[in-house]
Structure 1
């Protein structure tokens, strides 16, 4: 009787206040949509006036608390007046994707044309794959990831696609020992325009040392051109942009490797993306001295020409005076990686 009287009193109090005391508090709406595998409905574009202000984002490392993006990767690190845009949001939570070929799917909202991804681990190697599907048969983006330490070098990327409600499929390798943490984030239309303009600015302002053309070869037996970028020791991470808008507007297929020492491959990626309307913009971690990025074109000679821009993202301290030239290194670094995971996938 005492419990019933308390419930009755609570109900009468809720009527007097004009609210329902048993209604749960609605969750706060953010500037974008952090997708979960269980969410399948299109929530519609989020409100424009709730975009996350820059002061609420984490303070990145770099000179004066900012991210220095100098115009020349090696020589002109003095011009730190250019500050790189803080590209990636705060991921409030990451979803665990177990190993053994586990699959997660994320339905893109109908209004979305960009998607941002963060993949990491607790210190184990990471072997994963992400595919963007347009319908049941066509894959418009493919990213295969193979790295030694997913905690030290997490994978971050932004992909662009057409507004057709496409589906992102994320899967792990067949090894049960390699789970990972995944975050998928859809920026709202206003934020997506900022990200796209940032991609244009970084790509168009890259110097010849940063932006290079890579010609294709035969997809049957390799033969595509190989390009190298020497990363200064004070550059902790770099932006990688693949875009063919100025060299034929074709799709591309690349093998990207981050080396540290002779034939010591720390990170390996396979990227296959759309043409001039669908650039790839990712951030690769390059901690420690001696990092070299090697990119091999794996498309046909006839339509495989692509431009790749690699620009510093996080810069700390000053660049050393003596940096070894990459021109002396190709003979020490083989141009292919045999028996790699993405070749056998």
Structure 2
């Protein structure tokens, strides 16, 4: 019998979902939603991903659908039974854009942060990322996708500030998400439940250790051999903009100021390459946001703003080139 229909499996996953539904490890968007948490736990089981990471790195996109960060898809690819190795290569001197940005407050709206890059567009022509997926079956063609930073349209980059704060990681994320949503869709989403159970040892038994993709830096290499494909930004890119709104209540204003102050410290930690401080600031923001969302006196507008700040800060990472599991 398909294990997804097993009463024992359903009972186990239901108990786990009930435990995780109020956990701070779970994305705020899913807290209290047992059904969605249950579905994500089943997917974590099928993909061999730690449930903590799956519940923290999944989100609801702009169309109300469940999607995952590039880190989740990288792990899903690395853990796929048919995949032998996932290799990530970067070309060019990415240090020229690492940490090269400034953050300013909008002249029109206090609550809107603007991210400005401090490098020239010409530099982006020499920066690229290539992801290669090699299969165990020697007769199956290797899948390879390469894109340069300059090939991403400015209108797409404008949707997400991480194109400025963590450009290499963001480009890598776009490539792997595009592969998993298109060319390798069946490999990632077409889970054979019986094979998955046999491979992973049954009901949430042992999560397979993530076969971390290899990151190679190619010295003195141009990107002329990188065939840039026509880019199609996924419609599910999280909306991280924080729009302005007038708040007359000083208490609510103070709450927003505290959240934005934490965000400022997180950005500074990223610039200073201080992962310990960044982790601490993210934990502070989680506690503040959770407290605010449980406050019935707060207006929905303020709660929405806090969610935006929370989601935006969650994307701030130390872009050290390792690319795997450095997110909170």
Q: TM-score, normalised by structure 1?
A: 0.23
Name the larger-Rg structure: 1
